């Protein structure tokens, strides 16, 4: 099938404690993993949380990727053996120009550290981005204009770039430049809304909704939908963390997939109404039908949740959960923005299938799996 035989496959997973990072290290250590057996290094800024499946790592490395000296020193001992980099790291702030600076600096420091020695084994780098590729800087209010019209759905990989700053574009250009100079290949993986299990992801929509559901259950609040009627009734898609890991491993060892960009979604679609019914079932909440009296009266979840941190701390204490602060594990502004789109958030998976990756996931079933996983990890009750 055009897959390489990596007799010494050594992976560096940068962002190993995030949703896809957790799924990635587990997928790489499976006996059936393509290109394996793999030696796996995991890396992130902070120490391993207690819930992390450290048995899937050969070694865990902590460093600040924004600091070149720290990055170079930390990667020096493994730079000669790493064959594949799986880039899952992410820093997000409100201003897109700052996102470009932060994320480009981190990737540049890692790639510079791995390629600066006289001997490098680097063969392939995967970069995980997302559907902001097709929508523009949707979270940056300084760039939001009436002219910022996203591409038509379903989003396709060959759509031209939009005329706005986007750190995804910057990462693509950076890895392409390094690949040309250092003779390795790369692949770009554009996710939709990711579902997975971690307390260390910047944009964890599922955990954000779970925390909201738990607080509603704890205090008897109605579980209201934080979006508009359009997303309540129209189609959307998601990306399962395990599926993202599998596609990136496939691209990393498949000749045909080199230097290509691929969407990666589950392959099915849903309306948010069905997700809301599912969450009500899993958290034993009464289903609340969508109500609106114009955009100015849509339920504002950002305003509603801004003073609920103490309630979450009480839930953590009451159930003996892994200690987290609500503000660190949720992303209500991003959740609300994405639930108020006026277009269908759906990607085409045709290119991925045509190139040979035919993985898929049942979104509703996988949400159940990940919620249960979050409970097993003692992140939610």
Q: Nearest to residue 212, comparing CAs of 345, 371, 51, 92?
A: 371
What would the two tokens of residue 344 be? Answer: 């269908």
| DSSP tag of 161 | P
- Count of Cβ atoms closer than 10 Å to residue 127 Cβ: 24
Q: Is 304 helix (H, G, I), strand (E, B) or coil?
A: helix
- The residues assigned a catalytic role are 132, 168
3-state DSSP percent of the chain in helix, strand and coil, to 5: 40, 15, 45
Q: Is 377 helix (H, G, I), strand (E, B) or coil?
A: coil
Contact at 8 Å (CB) between 246 and 359? yes
What does residue 125 show for φ and ψ, rounded to 5 degrees? -125, 125
Which residue shows structure tokens 């839930």?
A: 315
Q: Is 300 helix (H, G, I), strand (E, B) or coil?
A: coil
């Amino acid at each position: 099938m055009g897959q390489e035989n990596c007799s010494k496959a050594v992976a560096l997973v940068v962002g190993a404690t995030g949703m896809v990072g957790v799924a990635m290290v587990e997928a790489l250590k499976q006996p059936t993993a393509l290109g394996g057996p793999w030696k796996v290094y995991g890396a992130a800024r902070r120490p391993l949380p207690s819930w992390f499946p450290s048995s899937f790592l050969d070694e865990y490395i902590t460093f600040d990727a924004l600091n070149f000296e720290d990055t170079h020193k930390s990667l020096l001992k493994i730079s000669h053996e790493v064959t594949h980099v799986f880039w899952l790291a992410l820093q997000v702030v409100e201003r897109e120009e700052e996102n470009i600076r932060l994320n480009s600096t981190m990737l540049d420091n890692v790639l510079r550290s791995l390629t600066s020695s006289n001997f490098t084994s680097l063969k392939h780098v995967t970069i995980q981005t997302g559907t902001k590729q097709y929508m523009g800087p949707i979270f940056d209010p300084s760039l939001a204009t009436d002219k910022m019209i996203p591409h038509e759905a379903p989003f396709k990989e060959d759509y031209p770039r939009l005329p706005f700053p986007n750190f995804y574009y910057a990462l693509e250009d950076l890895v392409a430049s390094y690949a040309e100079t250092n003779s390795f290949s790369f692949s770009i993986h554009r996710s939709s809304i990711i579902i997975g299990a971690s307390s260390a992801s910047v944009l964890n929509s599922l955990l954000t909704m779970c925390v909201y559901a738990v607080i509603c259950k704890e205090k008897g609040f109605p579980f209201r939908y934080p979006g508009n009627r359009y997303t309540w009734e129209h189609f959307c898609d998601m990306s399962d963390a395990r599926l993202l890991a599998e596609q990136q491993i496939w691209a990393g060892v498949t000749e045909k997939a080199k230097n290509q960009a691929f969407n990666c979604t589950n392959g099915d679609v849903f309306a948010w109404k069905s997700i809301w019914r599912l969450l009500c079932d899993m958290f034993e909440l009464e289903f609340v039908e969508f109500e609106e009296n114009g955009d100015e009266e849509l339920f504002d979840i950002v305003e509603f949740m801004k003073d609920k941190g103490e309630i979450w701390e009480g839930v953590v204490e009451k159930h003996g959960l892994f200690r987290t602060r609500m503000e660190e594990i949720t992303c209500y502004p991003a959740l609300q923005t994405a639930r108020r789109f006026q277009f269908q958030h759906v990607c085409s998976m045709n290119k991925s299938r045509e190139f040979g990756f035919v993985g898929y996931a049942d979104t509703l079933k996988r949400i159940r799996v990940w919620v249960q996983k979050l409970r097993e990890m003692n992140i939610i009750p």
